[in-house]
Amino acid sequence: MSVKQHTAATGNGHGHGNQDHGHHELPFWRKYIFSVDHKVIGIQYAVTALVFLFFGFSLMMMMRWQLAYPGQPLPLIGNLLGETAMPGGVMAPEFYNQLGAMHGTIMVFMGVVPLAVGGFGNFVVPLQIGAPDMAFPRLNMASYWVFLPGCIAMVASFFLPGGAAQSGWTSYPPLADIAPTGQTMWLFAMVLIITSSLLGSINFIVTIVQMRAKGLSFWRLPFFVHAQLVTAFLLLLAFPPLEAASVMQIMDRVAGTSFFLPTGLVVSGEPLKVAGGGNPLLWQHLFWFLAHPEVYVLILPAMGIVAEVIANNTRKPLWGYRLLVYSVVSLGFMSFVVWAHHMFMTGMGTTMSTFFQITTMIISIPSVVILTCFIMSLYGGNIRFTTPMLFATAFLPMFAIGGLTGLPLGLTASDIYLHDTFYVIGHFHYVVAPGTLFALFAGVYYWYPKATGRQLNEKLGKVHFWLSFVAINFVFMPMFFQGMAGLSRRLYDPTVYAHGRGVQALNVLISWGAWGLGLAQLFFIVNFFLSLKKGARVAENPWNATTLEWAAPSPPGHGNFITEPVVYREPYEYSVPGKSNDYSPQFRAEG
Amino acid sequence: MDAAQHEDVSKHMGQYYVVFVALLCLTAVTVGVSYLHLARPAAIAVALVIATVKAGLVAAVFMHLISERKVIYAVLIITAVFFAVLLLLPNLTTFEHHSGLPGT
Amino acid sequence: MSETVIPYMVKPHPVTGIPNGKFGIWLFLASEVMLFGALFSSYVLIRTGMPHWPPEGGLSSEVLNVPLATLNTAVLITSSITMVLAWASCKMGNLPRFRLWMGATIALAFVFLVVKYFEYSHKFHLGHTPAHDNFYAVYFTMTGLHGLHIVGGIIVNGYLLGPGTKLWAKDPEHFTNRVENAGLYWHFVDLVWIFLFPSLYLL
């Protein structure tokens, strides 16, 4: 594919010292490994993320054995993991804690965000705005190649003496300060991953603002792009405090400082030989300053994907487009001022807790507006229940459950009882698992044809959906009841408590649901690889969609578009009265 | 085009030198004031005001912020708001905890 | 195949009025504000949580070396003006002048680090390591991270002074933009020190 020069003066001064001139192909390692092409980088991120999603889920599938059958040897795998982790095939408590901490860390930082932002963001955004690539292609490449070593370091930490990080994905001191070496590796890996994220977010913001095609004003951008823009700002401004905190925890662990260690701390009966004077809550403030916006990083791109898939499959414009944009911006802003609702139990005074309760209640409003707009978008539509649409539609009630169950957690009166119980786990998993992850699956089924030139198999897709949908509810719904019964999270053996024994039957149900959910993913994995070779071939616009990415070939070549795209209309002109077609693409002059 | 740029920059050179001297003077002032051993609140206020003036000069003149575009101002204002939140809220929360109010 | 042409790499965007690189560096600086902001916030939180500061008694200005730090402040301020002069030389088409002023900027950066080396080694000599108490933990972490940013600046500026100058021959405007962006970063590093110096040494 040839690349047309952009009409505006560009003054291309790329140092092209060692670049091939003329029509030479790039060598394999520059085309597929150290590529600067956003599509290749997007796929690198996406594939890496999918691998880690499955790996992180496998860690949980192991934990679920211990929870369902405490103290029983794990069949088959139990004897393969060594005597330290699984003595006699039975999970050691320390190993359970490692699995827990690493499950959370891997799913959030190496699974969902890299897929939602690194994968979909990188691949789709430049195409949707009609750009030839991201603003800083080499920075983009650097971003991935800082991310991957971070991931490798994270996984490698399992092999350190004492094992991987085991103080929760939240790494609270003082425990995390004195934990085995794996925790230092966690901190180091986080610094790499955070740096990668910062570089990426700069790229996204500059690209979206500066490199839109002619005619593509802000109010004509697909909602997916708005969502990614807000997400990029969240990553840019919220991550640095965690980076600072990680540096301080590294200092505590390696240089013997006491940033987070209070005076007089006693460990195993012995006073800790440190200067003291630190504050463990300082870590919590800095961690949650990031981690709360982080959960909006998890949900916003997913909302963006749902918007695209719903509009396309209802053959109707999105309901309340401007409302959606205002909501997503206010959601982003509010996400910076709610973080201490994770800290209600730390002895906070009533003034500050009132402040954070109010902001937390306020932040639920834009979420509800967004969900309402999506639901209204379905009304009166000519709905096609393709596989992406199944996932996108299921997102709606699942996200609703996740959001609603958050409300009692945001109010201190009820949070006193529910904090650190399985109720919390149920709440946030509903938002992230049948919420975000379903939306991400929708995205894969929707954009796979664009990336590969082939369709994923619909039958396998539908089986994947239905099995996953049923299983996932068996996994997370019972957790609300366990939490309300008082069952704590991060508990190696629930049956030590009477109230745990009371809900132990649910643990068995949940575990079998989880293993079923794992098996259901095989349909996706098989489909993914099989369709690469055997999937039905597609042209540029197999879904009859309206946004710019569907003007490019499937898959797009270097530079993306054959002729420079121009935008003529709003992004969701479906079923416009008087037109012969039920869709008018943004990029076609005459609808 | 180049001649205009040439002239443009050379006009501003004077400004840069003035700011340079001002920064050195303000540094001397801030160190001098510290020898007065003012009461804690006053000392903090004076030091931060002087630092803010110095920072303002660097940002406005050396970093050309005074003639920068709206989009940059927008980014910086948003950042300033969250910077203030980051500085204030953890400390207010901790302060209320430490003050020993009932229920804390 | 030829490399993809990225619009507005050198010429400013018609609406925002800035090229991509300048926008990018300001965004990066915004994230740096949050990074150092977190450290300043932590400093306040830790310090207000302790009955005495420094914990061992006395004043910060007695424990730390104010004259050396004042010298370093002057060094950084001077390096800021030399950085501006380096950029201005590019704007005025004078490459040899650029080399002079950029060289001066880098040299001054090294002076800063050398002074810091003397400060640090004196402290270690007295047993005042980061582990000694939180005063030193804060001091070393904040000035250390700042120092790492100085090193980063030296590397970027060194590249522009060295191999990076090749771009001047091909596209002087692009090169000038890069110098300006590097300058923005460098001024920011100076800016952080402007707050760090009184906060740690004088208060």
Percentage with pLDDT > 90 across chain A = 91
CB contact under 8 A, A132 and C14: no
Check pLDDT > 90 for residue A4: no
The domain total for chain C is 1
CB contact under 8 A, C134 and A248: no
User: Which structure tokens are listed for A379?
Assistant: 């009304």
CB contact under 8 A, B62 and C202: no
CB contact under 8 A, C27 and A201: yes
Whether residues B57 and B84 share a domain: the answer is: no
Closest among C53, C50, C71 to C63, alpha carbons compared? C53
CB contact under 8 A, C35 and A16: no
Q: In this structure, what are the phi and psi dihedrals at residue A523, rounded to the nearest 5 degrees?
A: -60, -35
Of C2, C20, C137, the CB nearest to A206: C20
The alpha carbon of residue C64 is apart from the nearest alpha carbon of chain B, in Å, by 13
Q: Which chains touch A (3 or more CB pairs under 8 A)?
A: B, C
pTM assigned to the model: 0.94
Omega within 30 of 0 (cis) for the link into A293: no
Of B5, B62, B94, the CB nearest to C84: B62
Residue A288 in contact with partner chain C when CB distance is under 8 A: no
What are the chain B neighbours of C45 within 8 Å (beta carbons)? 90-91, 94
Interface of C with B in 36-55 (CB under 8 A): 37-38, 40-41, 44-45, 48-49
Check pLDDT > 70 for residue A17: no
Closest among A375, A59, A189, B10 to C93, alpha carbons compared? B10
Report residue A6's pLDDT band, with 50, 70 and 90 as the boundaries. very low
Q: Average pLDDT in the A330-339 region?
A: 97
Report residue A290's pLDDT band, with 50, 70 and 90 as the boundaries. very high
Report residue B98's pLDDT band, with 50, 70 and 90 as the boundaries. low
Q: Average pLDDT in the A460-466 region?
A: 98
Q: Give residue B4's pLDDT.
A: 54
Q: Give residue A438's pLDDT.
A: 98
Report residue B10's pLDDT band, with 50, 70 and 90 as the boundaries. confident
CB contact under 8 A, B104 and A347: yes
Q: Give residue B80's pLDDT.
A: 97
Check pLDDT > 50 for residue A300: yes
Whether residues B3 and B16 share a domain: the answer is: yes
Closest among B50, B22, B54, B52 to B36, alpha carbons compared? B50
Residue corresponding to tokens 């860390």: A105
The alpha carbon of residue A188 is apart from the nearest alpha carbon of chain C, in Å, by 15
Whether residues B29 and B57 share a domain: the answer is: yes
User: What CATH number corresponds to the domain at position C76?
Assistant: 1.20.120.80
Per residue, the 3-state secondary structure of A162-208, as one string, reads: CCECCCCCCCCCCHHHHCCCHHHHHHHHHHHHHHHHHHHHHHHHHHH
Check pLDDT > 70 for residue A182: yes
Q: Cα–Cα distance between C85 and A497 in angstroms, integer?
A: 71
The alpha carbon of residue C84 is apart from the nearest alpha carbon of chain A, in Å, by 23
Report residue C62's pLDDT band, with 50, 70 and 90 as the boundaries. very high
The alpha carbon of residue C35 is apart from the nearest alpha carbon of chain A, in Å, by 5
| Average pLDDT over chain A, rounded to an integer | 94
Interface test with B, best of A198, A234, A285, A354 (most B CBs within 10 A): A285
The domain total for chain B is 2
Interface of C with B in 165-184 (CB under 8 A): 183-184
Check pLDDT > 80 for residue A20: no
Residue C44 in contact with partner chain A when CB distance is under 8 A: no
Residue A24 in contact with partner chain C when CB distance is under 8 A: yes
Q: Give residue A30's pLDDT.
A: 86
Omega within 30 of 0 (cis) for the link into C54: yes
Residue A266 in contact with partner chain C when CB distance is under 8 A: no
CB contact under 8 A, A347 and B92: no
* Listed range (A4-13, A119-128, A365-374, A580-589) with the worst mean pLDDT: A4-13
What are the chain B neighbours of A343 within 8 Å (beta carbons)? 93
CB contact under 8 A, A352 and B92: yes
ipTM, 2 dp: 0.96
Domains in chain A, start-ordered, CATH in brackets?
39-263+284-551 (1.20.210.10)
User: Which structure tokens are listed for A560?
Assistant: 């993306």
DSSP β-bridge partners for residue A267: A270
CB contact under 8 A, A282 and B90: yes
CB contact under 8 A, C190 and B58: yes
CB contact under 8 A, B47 and C198: yes
Interface of A with C in 482-521 (CB under 8 A): none
- Burial class of residue A124 in the structure, from the number of CB atoms within 10 Å of its CB (0-12 exposed, 13-18 middle, 19+ buried): buried
Check pLDDT > 90 for residue A10: no
At B48-89, the pLDDT tens digits run 999 999 999 999 999 999 999 999 999 999 999 999 999 999
Query: Containing domain of residue C26, as a range?
Result: 20-202
| Cα–Cα separations (whole angstroms), residue B87 to B37, B53, C47 | 25, 19, 13
Query: Containing domain of residue B38, as a range?
Result: 1-68
Q: Which chains touch C (3 or more CB pairs under 8 A)?
A: A, B
Of A203, A244, A279, the CB nearest to C35: A244
CB contact under 8 A, A349 and B103: yes
Whether residues B4 and B21 share a domain: the answer is: yes
Of A233, A337, A347, the CB nearest to B97: A347
Q: Give residue A9's pLDDT.
A: 34
Residue corresponding to tokens 């912020």: B65
> Is residue A244 a contact partner of residue C142, using CB atoms and an 8 Å limit?
no
Q: Which residues of A485-521 are buried (b: 16+ CB within 10 A; e: fewer)?
A: bbbbbebbebeebeebeebbebbeebbebbbbbbebb
What are the chain C neighbours of A6 within 8 Å (beta carbons)? 5, 7
Q: Give residue B12's pLDDT.
A: 82
Check pLDDT > 60 for residue A21: no
Q: Residues for chain C: how many in total?
A: 203
Closest among A110, A219, A491, C203 to B41, alpha carbons compared? C203
The number of angstroms, rounded, from the C-alpha of A444 to the middle of its chain's C-alpha atoms is: 14
Of A209, A343, A349, the CB nearest to B101: A349
- CA of C35: which chain A residue's CA is closest? A240
Closest among A280, A89, A254, A240 to A186, alpha carbons compared? A254
Q: Give residue A113's pLDDT.
A: 97
What are the chain C neighbours of B3 within 8 Å (beta carbons)? none
Whether residues B58 and B97 share a domain: the answer is: no
CB contact under 8 A, A349 and B96: yes
CB contact under 8 A, A210 and C8: yes
Report residue A1's pLDDT band, with 50, 70 and 90 as the boundaries. very low
Q: Give residue A31's pLDDT.
A: 86
Interface of C with B in 64-83 (CB under 8 A): 66, 70, 73-74, 77-78, 80-81, 83
What are the chain A neighbours of C46 within 8 Å (beta carbons)? 259, 277-279, 282
Q: Residues for chain A: how many in total?
A: 591
Whether residues B64 and B78 share a domain: the answer is: no
Q: Give residue C197's pLDDT.
A: 97
The alpha carbon of residue A18 is apart from the nearest alpha carbon of chain B, in Å, by 30
CB contact under 8 A, A349 and B104: yes
Interface of C with A in 62-81 (CB under 8 A): none
Residue C7 lies in a domain: no
Check pLDDT > 60 for residue A102: yes
Check pLDDT > 90 for residue A213: yes
Interface test with A, best of B93, B95, B97, B104 (most A CBs within 10 A): B93
Whether residues B31 and B15 share a domain: the answer is: yes
Q: In this structure, what are the phi and psi dihedrals at residue A96, rounded to the nearest 5 degrees?
A: -55, -45
Q: Average pLDDT in the A101-128 region?
A: 98
Report residue C1's pLDDT band, with 50, 70 and 90 as the boundaries. very low
The alpha carbon of residue C70 is apart from the nearest alpha carbon of chain A, in Å, by 26
Report residue A24's pLDDT band, with 50, 70 and 90 as the boundaries. low
Check pLDDT > 60 for residue C116: yes
Check pLDDT > 80 for residue B6: no
* Listed range (A24-28, A167-171, B42-46) with the worst mean pLDDT: A24-28
Residue C102 in contact with partner chain B when CB distance is under 8 A: no
At A157-168, the pLDDT tens digits run 999 999 999 999
CB contact under 8 A, B69 and C17: yes
